[in-house]
Amino acid sequence: MSQSIPHSTSNQTAPSAVLLDRDHAILAFNERVFDWACRHDVPLLERLRYLCIVSSNLDEFFEVRAEPHLAANQSKDTKGLFTVASFNRLAQAAHRLVARQYALYNDDLIPALEKRGIKIISHGDRNPAQRRWVKQYFAREVRPLLIPVGLDPSHPFPQVANKSLNFIVRLGGRDAFGRENEIAIVKVPRVLPRMIRLPESVAGGVHVFVSISSVIRAHLAELFPGRDMGQFSQFRVTRHSDLAVDEDDVKNLRTALRQGLEHRHFGQAVRLEVSAGCSEYLSAFLLKQFDLPELALYRVPGPVNLVRLTQLVDLVDAPALCFPYFKSCYPTQMTLGVPLFEQLKQGDILIHQPFESFGGVLAFLREAVNDPDVLAIKQTIYRTGSDPELMGLLREAVRRGKEVTVVVELKARFDEEANINWAEMLESIGAQVLYGVVGLKTHAKMMLITRREGRQLKRYAHLSTGNYNPRTARLYTDWSHLTADKLLTADVENVFVHLASHSRLPKLNHVLLAPFYLHNKLIEKIKALGDTAASGGQGRIVAKMNALTDEALIHALIRAGQQGVKIDLLVRGACMLPAQVAGLTDNIRVRSVIGRYLEHSRVFYFRQGEVEELFLSSADWMNRNMMRRVELAWPVTDPAQRQRIVDEDLVAYLHDGVDAWDLLPDGTYARVKPPKSGQAHGAQAALMGRYAGRFNEREE
């Protein structure tokens, strides 16, 4: 890279604070999500969905954070390596959470579902008619896809894909060739549905489901005619799945990543799940096969993959057991029938998603595509998902002869394949496709429209704290910011040019860009507030983010708090800063809000005396965001717009009396207690109520 990245300007001695462990903080976040599955004020099917979300989060935790190689001589340090002791503590915490999950599933959710006429029945609970139907289903839909593999020297243990469902069987007797090979493996194809609904003719007037594992388990012996089937168990292995590509050593990153994706499903094993009744012989055999320690074994009294139970939620048509329907309103600062380019000449527009619709962003792009005066569209792509609408608009823009430049982040974790496919599609029709900067992920969310107006070219921009993904825009809280501000749009243009050419970045007017300036500028602002407070002035920081794990920023906050700055941190996920510790962080409060929607917006508020600054950002306060990603933070300078963000995304959450958790001095979290008198309010519910009444008059 032609421009060097400055080191942190913070040279002060770090305070004597023992930071919280990042991995345990991630598990603590999942415990807060799990609380939603336990809450009886949450609709029943939504409780099941939250249980599945925790399982999905744990899958990713093991795939990314679990150390693949557990050697006794390792020491856990800032690089994330593990000693045996630290691995044991983390594994024990994960085991406790998994045990709570299955206890809730078996003792609470399953009985509650049965009371509402929703049953998952095992083979032993099926009546003769149901058994006949399952037998026919197995013969017709399942058996033709199963190939049991008996292990012998010519048939070694098969490659088992990451998170796939399998059976292991111990057989008695001899095979067709007179050999005593006793272990067989049966892979369950991913194409088979994990939950199957029985027809009404055999369901008995209720919603009756069978799992694919119980269907196969009931007919497992049929796969081994002439053999005695003894011990057996389901099993599922989780593998390390974080792609590692040496970008300095490859000529074509896209090709290298596509090749890497072919092997992702077969990385180093990090976790083994088996049925609770799995014999010691079979579990020991599997542990040896996957080279895993005993604590990597999870015996589960139920489905080995709770994530797949989301299929049941989708198959049951029971609105009363789900959250009440909520439809985002049309963005309140947009006026239907008036071109957005004309509206933006009058002032910036903010969209608070999902309370206001992401459709406003699509309308902005659609207007640009259809406007003959628009000459160029530039956009970053990090996670778009499989929804084709946005990509269809970019394709139409190319067809209409506009200059379309797209910066596609190929290394967006677990979205690599989708992004490669989108990149190849856009490139094939003539769009200019860029892959950002070697060694950095382009995580900034920005779109720039260049339009001819008379003899001038005018720029319009969209900046966001979230992704260009219509599906997650309905589930994540984020801010979209539309602007025609000359200085801000000039900054966005310069960032795009920098990403394309890797030329030296000029001095920016408003935007703070990582990895060049964002980290240092944040530390400088925190330090300035600390100096103000130390000299008798007033300093205030309120910052909202998804994670706080960057040690330099944490130490800067601790110092500022010790100097008298009042600091409130809204950190949804992992937080390593120990809050409310006497004599150390008395002035710092950390709060996590877990709600119906995933809190995703990043908002940084600084007040020095009477001077206020507020930034929106794509970046969390993590070292990777500050040093290894292209990230943006930009100011909201209009006082009315700034106050709106403060009211809706900071004050509302600091006063949340329903869904908030406070970080305690010992590193644990406590859910807020509702007031003894009066009604407690949740921030998200209040925002839904505020915007729901505006739907009819602004329906899209």
Instruction: Give residue 414's pLDDT.
Output: 47
Instruction: Give residue 181's pLDDT.
Output: 76
Instruction: Give residue 287's pLDDT.
Output: 95
Domain locations in the chain? 22-321, 340-510, 514-698
Q: Is the pLDDT of residue 76 over 90?
A: no
Q: What percentage of residues in the chain have a pLDDT greater than 90? A: 69
Q: CA nearest 239: which of 274, 223, 263?
A: 263
Report the alpha-carbon distance of residue 176 to residue 196 in Å, rounded.
Answer: 34
Instruction: Give residue 674's pLDDT.
Output: 76
Q: What percentage of residues in the chain have a pLDDT greater than 70? A: 85
Q: Is the pLDDT of residue 19 over 50?
A: yes
Catalytic residue numbers read: 443
Query: In the CATH scheme, what architecture does the domain 22-321 have?
Result: 2-Layer Sandwich (3.30)
Q: Considering the domain 340-510 in this protein, what is its CATH number?
A: 3.30.870.10
Give just the sign of the alpha carbon dihedral 167, 168, 173, 176. positive
In tens, the pLDDT along 568-596 reads 999 999 999 999 999 999 999 999 999 99
Instruction: Give residue 266's pLDDT.
Output: 62
| CA triple 53-59-65, angle to 5 deg | 125
| CA triple 218-220-221, angle to 5 deg | 110
- For residue 674, say if its preceding peptide bond is cis, omega within 30 degrees of 0: no
Give the mean model confidence (pLDDT) for residues 451-477. Answer: 94
* Residues contacting 243, CB < 8 A, separation 6+: 257, 260, 261, 264, 411, 413, 416
Q: How far is CA 481 from the centre of its chain?
A: 22
Give the mean model confidence (pLDDT) for residues 183-199. Answer: 93
Q: Is the pLDDT of residue 257 over 60?
A: no
Domains 22-321 and 514-698 share a fold: no
Instruction: Give residue 82's pLDDT.
Output: 52
Report the alpha-carbon distance of residue 226 to residue 171 in Å, rounded.
Answer: 10
Query: Is residue 147 within 8 Å of residue 224, measured between CB atoms?
Result: no
In tens, the pLDDT along 646-689 reads 999 999 999 999 999 999 999 999 999 877 766 778 999 999 99
Q: Is the pLDDT of residue 77 over 50?
A: no
Place 265 in a pLDDT band, splitting at 50, 70 and 90.
low
In tens, the pLDDT along 333-348 reads 999 999 999 999 999 9
Q: Considering the domain 514-698 in this protein, what is its CATH number?
A: 3.30.870.10
Q: Is the pLDDT of residue 2 over 60?
A: no
Instruction: Give residue 417's pLDDT.
Output: 61
In tens, the pLDDT along 203-233 reads 987 899 999 999 999 999 999 988 888 899 9
Residue that wins the pLDDT comparison between 557 and 676:
557
Query: Is residue 394 within 8 Å of residue 404, measured between CB atoms?
Result: yes
Write down the pTM of the prediction: 0.89
Report the alpha-carbon distance of residue 366 to residue 370 in Å, rounded.
Answer: 6
